[in-house]
């Protein structure tokens, strides 16, 4: 019997990371230190992939990729860990000139996502005009309204991407996915903007069980936009993944302190990032036990 | 009035931040710069500006002004990030941001210090500064007034000032003073100094020539009701005191 293209899309983190190629443009969902697909980012750290253009409302996802030398260019409006305002690896990458940057206003960035998600070359917005965003992005052009107002607007180019990674609370094996927290962020836009989108989730559920988890409108992601699904329990750690878990503030603090010092970072990397995802989760649990 | 002697600098600042929203009516107060302006926006709503919409720090528009650090007991609306960004264009919003640098016309920087191509200190990035300042009423909160923050020229214009076509830079509240742009050429002016601060203290801590009127009044003190609301209702843990040293 034909499955009509709804065959099982379940993959491992390694399969997702292994499908990336150097030089690709990679979109990462979430926002700051909130519902980031950290397990998939960690899997990328273990591959030889490099020279990525990363498109993200940046948090520790960007920091980890910068620290591993995976990023050629970053497209963003900010990089922050929310409760820790500044991201040390991103700062270091900028201050040593090891990455290129496309820096947009938050709203401009969203318009770029909307344009890419809907196959438009650009979308117009006033946000960004008169600021130094126009100075540091000389490729940006403006358009003039053809109507009586004649208003000048920024033509934000579509933020198209080869691959997008997002993390959701629930998903089924077909690739439909559900968020259960208070904010969808821009994850549906990332999913639609990329040629290929992978969803990691806290828990795989039967399609029939979505209704037990949340209302119909929590079904943010359609399988039409999803190439693969990965079950990664605690996979957003250490970022917030409400209501499954909040941000691991203590661990984030450890990350930030380690990231700010090369020796401490080597120790952090050895302890937490030298093995696979299961090893990471074990090491985090052990650290949590001993810091109690 | 016996309470007068015990009013803290943070409480003066919070009342000054509340005053930023005077007359705003039914718009969203997006006080993202810290505890003091967040407290100020909720204080304004709890007292003289009841129409104001405030959040709980997350995507919930709360039915009542909520104490700092608490989730909304009852939500009256939902404002996830995407809708916040659309609301910037809609305009019914007054944002309070925290600049790392601000110049005499209210241009601000939260992006990086030094040359953008290779910054000496990378900060947050421009965030929503460009859109906020071009399209919404914007105010600023500076918890530590210094010549490093109040500078002749900002390194990266992330928030546009009056001379670049800002919608409205209403005022700047710092730990020392309230500053506005109520001058013919929209240059920053000293509106009031907080009790215990001298005009020359503010001038010395400002890295550009400030417009200083002949008579500079003292910033008003919060009244008994405002103090009660701050201390007993909106900030019983005294988070405001962590942000401003008295």
Tell me the pLDDT tens digit for each residue of A120-130.
999 999 999 99
Pick from A203, A243, A200: nearest CA to A38 = A200
Q: pTM, whole model, 2 decimals?
A: 0.96
Task: Note whether A110 contacts B82, CB cutoff 8 Å.
Answer: yes
Q: Give the distance between the most distant pair of CA atoms in chain B.
A: 56
Question: What CA–CA distance (Å, rounded) separates B59 from B30?
Answer: 11
Which residue of chain B comes nearest to A189, CA vs CA?
B82
For A8, other C-beta atoms within 10 Å of its C-beta total 11
Task: Note whether A129 contacts B58, CB cutoff 8 Å.
Answer: no
Collect all residues with Cβ–Cβ distance below 8 Å to A262 and sequence separation of at least 6.
none
Distance from CA of A105 to the nearest CA of B (A): 5
The CA-based angle B158-B100-B104, given to 5 degrees, is 75
Interval A69-78: pLDDT, tens: 999 999 999 9
Rounded to the nearest 10°, the torsion over CA A157, A158, A163, A168 is 120
Check pLDDT > 90 for residue B1: no
Best B126, B154, B158, B164 residue to mutate vs chain A (most A CBs within 10 Å): B126
**Per-residue pLDDT, A7:** 76
Task: Note whether A103 contacts B111, CB cutoff 8 Å.
Answer: yes
Mean pLDDT of chain B: 96
- Between residues A116 and A2, which one has the greater pLDDT? A116
Task: Note whether A95 contacts B118, CB cutoff 8 Å.
Answer: yes
Tokens standing for residue B223: 């009244």
**Would you say how long chain A is, in residues?**
292
Q: Is residue B81 within 8 angstroms of chain A, CB to CB?
A: yes
Check pLDDT > 90 for residue A81: yes
User: DSSP string spanning chain B?
Assistant: -GGGGG--HHHHHHHHHHHHTTT--SSEEEE-S-HHHHHHHHHHHHTT-TT-B-B-SSSEEESSPPPTTPPPSSEEEE--HHHHHHHHHH--EEEEE--SEE-TT--EE-SEES-TTS-SEE-S--TTHHHHHHHSEEEEEESS--TTTB-SS-SS-SB--GGGT-SEEEEEEESSEEEE--STT---EEEEE-TT--HHHHHHT-SS--B--SS-PBPPPP-HHHHHIIIIII-TT-HHHHHS--
Interval B13-38: pLDDT, tens: 999 999 999 999 999 999 988 999 99
Question: What CA–CA distance (Å, rounded) separates B231 from B240?
Answer: 10
Question: What CA–CA distance (Å, rounded) separates B161 from B150?
Answer: 13
Task: Note whether A78 contacts B129, CB cutoff 8 Å.
Answer: no
For a pLDDT cut of 70, what percent of chain B falls above it? 98
Span A273-289, average pLDDT: 98
Residue A59, classified by CB atoms within 10 Å of its CB into exposed (0-12), middle (13-18) or buried (19+), is: buried
Check pLDDT > 50 for residue A2: no
Task: Note whether B124 contacts A103, CB cutoff 8 Å.
Answer: no
Distance from CA of B72 to the nearest CA of A (A): 12
pLDDT band at B245, cuts 50/70/90? confident
Per CB-CB distance under 8 Å, the chain B contacts of A128 are: 130-131, 134
Q: Is residue B134 within 8 angstroms of chain A, CB to CB?
A: yes
């Amino acid at each position: 019997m034909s499955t009509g293209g709804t065959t099982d899309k379940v993959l491992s983190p390694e399969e997702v990371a292994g499908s990336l190629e150097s030089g690709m443009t990679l979109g990462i969902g979430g926002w700051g230190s909130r519902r980031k697909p950290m397990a998939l980012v960690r899997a990328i750290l273990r591959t030889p992939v490099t020279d990525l253009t990363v498109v993200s409302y940046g948090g520790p996802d960007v920091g980890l990729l910068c620290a591993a030398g995976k990023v050629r260019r970053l497209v963003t409006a900010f990089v922050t860990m929310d409760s820790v305002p500044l991201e040390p690896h991103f700062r270091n990458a900028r201050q040593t000139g090891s990455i290129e940057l496309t820096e947009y206003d938050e709203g401009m960035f969203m318009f770029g996502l909307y344009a890419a998600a809907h196959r438009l070359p650009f979308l117009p917005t006033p946000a960004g005009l008169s600021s130094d965003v126009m100075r540091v992005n000389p490729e940006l052009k403006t358009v003039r309204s053809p109507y009586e107002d004649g208003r000048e607007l920024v033509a934000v180019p579509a933020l198209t991407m080869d691959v997008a990674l997002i993390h959701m609370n629930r998903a089924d094996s077909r690739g439909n996915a559900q968020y259960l927290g208070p904010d969808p962020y821009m994850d549906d836009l990332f999913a639609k903007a990329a040629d290929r989108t992978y969803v990691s989730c806290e828990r795989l559920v039967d399609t029939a069980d979505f209704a037990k988890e949340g209302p119909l409108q929590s079904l943010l992601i359609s399988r039409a936009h999803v190439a693969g699904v990965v079950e990664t329990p605690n996979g957003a750690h250490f970022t917030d993944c409400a209501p499954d878990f909040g941000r691991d503030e203590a661990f984030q603090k450890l990350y930030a302190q380690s990231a700010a010092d090369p020796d401490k970072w080597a120790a952090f990397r050895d302890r937490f990032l030298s093995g696979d995802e299961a090893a990471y989760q074990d090491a985090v649990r052990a650290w949590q036990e001993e810091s109690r | 009035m016996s309470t007068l002697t015990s009013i803290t600098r943070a409480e003066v600042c919070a009342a000054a931040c509340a005053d930023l929203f005077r007359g705003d009516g039914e718009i969203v107060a997006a006080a993202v710069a810290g505890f003091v302006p967040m407290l100020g926006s909720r204080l304004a709503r709890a007292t003289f500006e009841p129409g104001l919409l405030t959040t709980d720090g997350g995507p919930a528009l709360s039915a009542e002004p909520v104490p700092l650090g608490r989730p909304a007991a009852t939500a009256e609306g939902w404002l996830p990030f995407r809708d916040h960004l659309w609301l910037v264009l809609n305009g019914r919003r007054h944002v309070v941001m925290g600049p790392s640098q601000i110049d005499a016309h209210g241009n601000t920087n939260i992006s990086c210090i030094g040359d953008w191509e290779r910054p000496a200190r990378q900060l947050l990035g421009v965030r929503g500064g460009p859109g906020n300042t071009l399209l919404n009423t914007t105010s600023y909160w500076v918890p530590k007034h210094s010549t490093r923050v109040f500078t002749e020229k900002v390194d990266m214009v992330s928030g546009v000032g009056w001379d670049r076509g800002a919608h409205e830079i209403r005022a700047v509240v710092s730990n020392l003073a309230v500053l506005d742009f109520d001058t013919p050429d929209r240059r920053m002016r000293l509106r009031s100094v907080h009790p215990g601060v001298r005009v020359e203290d503010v001038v010395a801590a400002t890295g550009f020539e400030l417009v200083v009127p002949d008579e500079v009044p003292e910033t008003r003190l919060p009244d008994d009701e405002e103090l009660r609301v701050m201390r007993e209702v909106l900030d019983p843990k005294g988070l405001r005191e962590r942000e401003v040293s008295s």
